[in-house]
Structure 1
Amino acid sequence: MGAAGSKLEKALGDQFPEGERYFGFENFGNTCYCNSVLQALYFCVPFREQLLEYYGNNKNIADTEENLLTCLADLFSQISSQKKKTGVIAPKRFVQRLRKQNELFRSYMHQDAHEFLNFLLNEIVDILEKEDQAAKNDEGTSPPSEKVANGPKSGLANGAKKEPLVTWVHKNFQGILTNETRCLQCETVTARDETFFDLSLDIEQNSSITSCLKNFSSTETLNAEDKFFCDKCCSLQEAQKRMKIKKPPRILVIHLKRFKYIEQLGRYKKLSYRVVFPLELKLSDTVEEADIEYSLFAVVVHVGSGPNHGHYVSLVKSHNHWLFFDDENVEMIDESAVQTFFGSSQEYSSNTDHGYILFYESISNKN
């Protein structure tokens, strides 16, 4: 471990970023799904800074009850305050809390990194909302606003008079999708907004993120049994439906749907398709506004041929260097190595390391 750390320091030499820390995480029995996501979040600089600010504001409160947020803040603080530049940290307290909180992550079975990321972000939001409510109650103010759910499946509260709390998780990760349905009889457009923390995209062989996004927002015709009930026509009508990004997030998280349920097999299969993800991504066709540019800064990679076994590692861009995090091990890699994680162009390939969750930060829309 020490040798690996010193090797990394030697590789970076004078270019080792001032004040930065590169620490691997110990694995507590199949916790690579957790380790890889935590590394990606640690190198999501706005998220890290706000979490450390939260830690600074709350560390002296003696009666703060331990929860997933306090454990994560404590872990990030441990890393950032290390005297050494490299090494290994055991995220034991965080993992214990995670297993205590959610039985899904209690077993030593292979877990899904995307499920974990979704759970973690929503859990942090819940904790922040409860803390905000407790503070308001202490001040004797009115009851809380109606909560707007944070996942991609939920709609914004229509006509809600009270504004929902916008946490720093929302400010970083939340975007808004608009689901538009146009009645082909009367041309009336019905639009419904939904919030999202990440976009889950269907993938095809030898495709790219751009083409996956185009498919995501392509127009679909609703006819036959799928007709749409138009309020204006007061009847079922043929319609056209499409999904657009109304408000792009500061941090765009893209989840590639690599695990597909195959009816004939009666189980999930991993799609090892080659999906090119660029280092710089432009959102144009999917967004209502002008072009939005994003820069890739982290990739959670699934290693293995199936959904129920395998391993997770992460690639992270930090101060213009790319690093490879594999539990305790941290190595420097060349930028060109990122493309080896696009996937396999043939169905049967020895390459089983495939990009699974992509983290992009907005360049043109930093706020």
Structure 2
Amino acid sequence: METLSIILLCVFIPVTVLLSICLLCIHSYWKRKWKSITKENDIEAKGDIKIGNQSKENVKHTLRFQGRLEDAQRGPSHQDPTFVADEKLGGRKKKQKVEESKLFEFDPPIGNKNLGNTCFFNSSLQALYFTKFFEDALSLLKVSAPNFQNLKLTKSVLELLEKKNVNHTQELRSVLNAVRNINNQFGRGTQEDSYELLNTLLGGILDELQNGDRTCKPIDVDSGVNGISLKNLFTGIFITIYVYDSCNDVEVDFEEFTTLSIPIADNIDQNFKKLPHRGLQTISSEDPRFDIEKGLAVLTQIEDYEESDLPCRVCNIEGTGKAYRRMLVFTPPPVLVIHIDRFKMNDFNRLTKNAQRLKYPRIFNMAKFCSVANTELSTNSLNYELYAVVVHSGALGGGHYYAYVNTTRMHDVEKWQEHLKRSPLDLEKLKSNVEEFLRKRHEFQDDSGQTEVCKVKDSWFYVSDESVCSASVDEVISHKDAYILFYEVH
């Protein structure tokens, strides 16, 4: 009996231990399995993407400003173009990781104190506050330009941008004084033209960078640090084409521009498609639909002369046919500023205002105003989105300027990089190559395309000096007193 008990104990104990071990293993396995299933469900609920054994979260990537400067010094190869900054990029922008487009979100605008009839000044500044990469370009110049402290206007504008979220009246006054040093009509306590102020401010900054000071070399405005060139941000290139019947010669000239001033056009020449020479052709031959497109059509229309009045400057032969001239956009800038020319002198030599309401789109395509001579352009790269409007309300004597700004836009990284990293052009070499290209006989082409629809919800604000409130896109589009329109590559 004792022997049997010993045998049973010897068998029972190992079996019990073995079963316990098996149960523990099974319990551990199902516990791990349950955690894995729960984790996968959580990932799917958050909208994450499963890649192999890793999950890729749709999160913001924070890149500190100092780190961005270090990347700029190491070179563009160290930067990841798929990630964007959440720390003071170009003002007050917050960005989000997406595939090719990124969401730009600015903080709501802060008003500017009126320093005495300075609404013309404040309204243009609001548009610049919400211009992508404007502050970035100045900030990067600050650390790269040895003579930055001597650039009075550029330095004062950057100081204003850096303090615009707090009490910035002193910085505002410093910018106005710096502009007045360039043109003394500003800052005298009188109401002035907002468009002229904008041209003076932008032109003054570019001149300072180009000329430098007497002790330092000029700053290369064409090759911005980290690919952000202040010049490339606003500067486009016109091409003027001359075509001659008798000799079939083609001649071109180039000229830079930072803004486009268009007339209020009631009627346009409907024969603009009947081109006597391919050299005068645009990328798209779509009809202008909106009023500002009609104004651009007038600006870029074909002019014809008798060859006896405009002889060929290539072969110096005075022909008997027609000479044609057309000015088109050769290289559009990423920021396109369009001025509606409302103020004209009447027959009595008095300045008057044309208060006609003009229709302008939220998004439009510049292809119908760009020359085919630039073979690097295509219709799908020329969509522009409205992001700010400067308004002049009232009559000439007692009018008022204010602005509308959009704080939420999409950002196409590839398109902006193409513009901002554009290399300086050798215009003489380009002139020769373009003339040779346009002299060749080619079939007419039409790269027409549909304008893209804005895919992000608007966040528009009305800003009148220190007064700020939200606005609807319907209130902004086709405003009856729109004066300056700010578009950016969409």
Q: TM-score range by the shorter chain?
A: 0.7 to 0.9
Pair 1:95–1:164, CA change in 2 (3 A): closer
Residue of structure 2 aligned with 1:245, choices 329, 332, 335 = 329
Taking the aligned partners of 2:242 and 2:221, their CA distance within structure 1 comes to 26
Give the conservation status (yes or no) of the 8 Å contact 2:246–2:319. no
Structure (1/2) with the larger strand percentage = 1
Q: Counterpart of 2:129? A: 42
* Per-residue deviation, 1:223: 3.2
Which has more radius of gyration? Answer: 2
Question: Are residues 1:257 and 2:337 paired?
Answer: no
Give the conservation status (yes or no) of the 8 Å contact 1:186–1:233. no
Q: Counterpart of 1:296? A: 386
Pair 1:18–1:119, CA change in 2 (3 A): closer
Q: Counterpart of 2:466? A: 328
Range moving further from structure 2, 201-210 or 33-42: 201-210
Pair 1:133–1:294, CA change in 2 (3 A): farther
Pair 1:62–1:183, CA change in 2 (3 A): closer
Taking the aligned partners of 1:254 and 1:63, their CA distance within structure 2 comes to 30
Pair 1:57–1:330, CA change in 2 (3 A): farther
Q: Counterpart of 1:96? A: 177
User: What amino acid sits opposite 2:302 in the alignment?
Assistant: T
Taking the aligned partners of 2:109 and 2:150, their CA distance within structure 1 comes to 29
SS of structure 1 residue aligned to 2:356: coil
* Per-residue deviation, 1:89: 4.7
Pair 1:293–1:134, CA change in 2 (3 A): farther
Superimposed CA distance per residue, residues 171-207 of structure 1 (whole angstroms, 9 cap, x where no aligned partner): 1011111111111222211111111001111112496
Residues 18-29 of structure 1: pairs in structure 2 closer than 5 A: 20=107, 22-29=109-116
Taking the aligned partners of 1:33 and 1:166, their CA distance within structure 2 comes to 32
Q: Counterpart of 2:407? A: 318
Give the conservation status (yes or no) of the 8 Å contact 2:210–2:221. no
Range moving further from structure 2, 107-116 or 216-225: 216-225
* Per-residue deviation, 1:255: 0.8
Pair 1:337–1:164, CA change in 2 (3 A): closer
Give the conservation status (yes or no) of the 8 Å contact 2:138–2:230. no
Q: Counterpart of 2:64? A: none
Superimposed CA distance per residue, residues 27-51 of structure 1 (whole angstroms, 9 cap, x where no aligned partner): 1111111101111001002112222
Give the conservation status (yes or no) of the 8 Å contact 2:151–2:208. no
Superimposed CA distance per residue, residues 12-36 of structure 1 (whole angstroms, 9 cap, x where no aligned partner): xxxxx97725210011111111101
Question: Are residues 1:279 and 2:365 paired?
Answer: no
Range moving further from structure 2, 165-174 or 39-48: 165-174
Taking the aligned partners of 2:464 and 2:133, their CA distance within structure 1 comes to 23
Q: Counterpart of 1:12? A: none
Aligned length: 302
SS of structure 2 residue aligned to 1:252: strand
Give the conservation status (yes or no) of the 8 Å contact 1:26–1:328. yes
Q: Counterpart of 1:151? A: none
Question: Are residues 1:115 and 2:196 paired?
Answer: yes
- Give the gaps of 5 or more residues in structure 1: 1-16, 137-143, 146-162, 344-353
SS of structure 1 residue aligned to 2:247: coil
Structure (1/2) with the larger helix percentage = 2
Pair 1:240–1:297, CA change in 2 (3 A): same
User: What amino acid sits opposite 1:284 in the alignment?
Assistant: A
Superimposed CA distance per residue, residues 239-288 of structure 1 (whole angstroms, 9 cap, x where no aligned partner): 111111111111111111111122x2211211112211111011121112
Residue of structure 2 aligned with 1:181, choices 229, 242, 246 = 242
Taking the aligned partners of 1:135 and 1:95, their CA distance within structure 2 comes to 25
Taking the aligned partners of 1:66 and 1:130, their CA distance within structure 2 comes to 10
Taking the aligned partners of 1:63 and 1:183, their CA distance within structure 2 comes to 49
* Per-residue deviation, 1:233: 4.1
TM-score by length of 2: 0.57
Q: Counterpart of 2:164? A: 79
Q: Counterpart of 1:198? A: 259
Residue of structure 2 aligned with 1:267, choices 342, 345, 350 = 350
User: What amino acid sits opposite 2:311 in the alignment?
Assistant: F
Taking the aligned partners of 2:364 and 2:215, their CA distance within structure 1 comes to 41
Give the conservation status (yes or no) of the 8 Å contact 1:24–1:88. no
SS of structure 1 residue aligned to 2:212: helix
Residues 145-160 of structure 1: pairs in structure 2 closer than 5 A: none
User: What amino acid sits opposite 1:356 in the alignment?
Assistant: Y
Taking the aligned partners of 1:216 and 1:63, their CA distance within structure 2 comes to 37
Pair 1:62–1:305, CA change in 2 (3 A): closer
Pair 1:212–1:230, CA change in 2 (3 A): same
Pair 1:290–1:325, CA change in 2 (3 A): same
Taking the aligned partners of 1:177 and 1:126, their CA distance within structure 2 comes to 19
Question: Are residues 1:360 and 2:421 paired?
Answer: no
Taking the aligned partners of 1:25 and 1:51, their CA distance within structure 2 comes to 20
RMSD: 2.8
